[in-house]
Amino acid sequence: MALTGEKFLIDAYTGKGGFLDGSYLIPHPRESDEKFSRRKKLAVYPNYVKKVVDSYLSHLFKKSPVRSIETQEYLEFIQNVDKQGTYMDDYMRRAFKLSMVTGTTFLIVDKPKGKALTKLEEKQLGLTPYLALRTRSQLYNYSLDSYGRLSSITFIEKQPDGTTLYRYFDTNVWRVATDPELNEIQGEGEHNLGEVPVVLLHSTDPLLPTDLTAPPWILDIANLNFDLYNALSELRELFRNQTFSIFTIPVKDQADAEKLKDLTISTENAIPYSPEGGGKPDFIAPPPDPVQSYMQYIENLIQQIYRLSNLEFTGGVQKSGIAKEYDWLEFNRTLTSFAQQCEQAEYKIANLVCKWQGTEFKGYIQYPRDFSIRNLAEELETAMNAITAQILPPTGVVELRKKLTRDILGEFVDDKLLNQMDEEIEKESQSYVPRVNEEI
């Protein structure tokens, strides 16, 4: 049985919903309601989905993206992207986590209503762009133009008071209504951006050109975890019903059996018996084969989860060095793909933020590409040899110094200070290049 709904996927990550109350358990055909109810109360969810997702996120956002921003409006925006004081890196990490779980999240680049005479007044009134997140389940409908670009989109939003709103965007206008046909308008206006101010953040690429959403990255892992949840519950029931040995007492006739019907035996009691016919009290136990089969199946499920998530190198399976290196390369490749999705999304956000403020985005954004475990001392030695041997041109030396600065200090200083160091390295290079030319 495979589940694909957004609620199931979110429950698989959080461990709540049907995994908490036992409603995701499948009853055995011959299982009584009483036993199934007891099994639901005892079920424990081993949350490998969260472990896998958090492992990837910790590596993906271990280092801040390299941002060299010339546009002052975007520099100010990334310090507080949601009007709640959230920095861009933290917001993207949370949004991408949801994308890994559900496949796609929608980031609306909006701006509060109101007019200001100057940019200073606009800042003072808080009339600057911000991000608002919508989930896949909130997508009501959308349309594409002849080139496959998003031309309109509508979100359905449940309000705290129980009412429902429909939020609509196209390439020029926005509307908020209480009906899906957008007749009962609550608010509307023009943004004149020339594009829909919604950025799609995928965890994987959509399968078809006409698909607006991508398949959830955790889908197969979540279904395996669902199977593991059921298998562990059934194994627990086997332990409860079969593991304890049964005490047998030989009896001569029905009268003797009747005397023992209310007898309770434990390790603190003694019991006399008749040795006639060679009989003696004994214990019998069920064969261990069913339990062993379940344990092997559970172990295989766990290995399959790590295999699908490219995390086999973290397990206890003995592998050759080449096999482990291949596993790490696959893990690195997946992280690089995630980084590219985040980078593409942030570029689109940056362009929309600047359009809202009547300016043009200038600069570059680069999310990490290399997530390998390196020996920093060896990397420094290689870099120094490359500089000494003049393998790299002056511009290459500048970029190498920037990279090494982030490798050494990236965990200890913030993005603002790293950008300041980049500027210092570039200023030094302006005097470095003429000196090199003179020596040559």
Three-class SS state of 86: coil
Which residue blocks in 103-211 are alpha helix, DSSP H?
Answer: 119-124
**Which pLDDT score, from 0 to 100, does residue 175 have?**
95
Report how far residue 203's alpha carbon sits from residue 255's, in angstroms, rounded to the nearest whole number: 72
Which residue bears the tokens 């609550």?
A: 186
The rounded average pLDDT for each run of 10 residues, N- to C-terminus, in the chain (440 residues) is: 81 95 91 88 93 92 88 93 94 96 96 78 82 95 92 95 95 94 92 95 90 93 95 84 63 70 61 58 66 87 89 59 69 91 96 94 89 59 68 76 72 70 78 54
- What span, in angstroms and rounded, lies between the C-alpha atoms of 59 and 98? 16
Query: For residues 405 and 71, what is the distance between their CA atoms, to the nearest angstrom?
Result: 24
**CA-based end-to-end distance of the chain:** 71
Domain residue spans in the chain?
Answer: 374-440
Give the per-residue pLDDT at 323: 61
Would you state the pLDDT for residue 63? 85
Smallest CA-to-CA distance from 266 within 247, 248, 294 is with 247
- For residues 383, 388, 390 and 394, what is the CA-based torsion angle, rounded to 10 degrees? 70
Taking phi over 0 as left and psi of -120 to 50 as alpha, with beta for the rest, 62 belongs to alpha
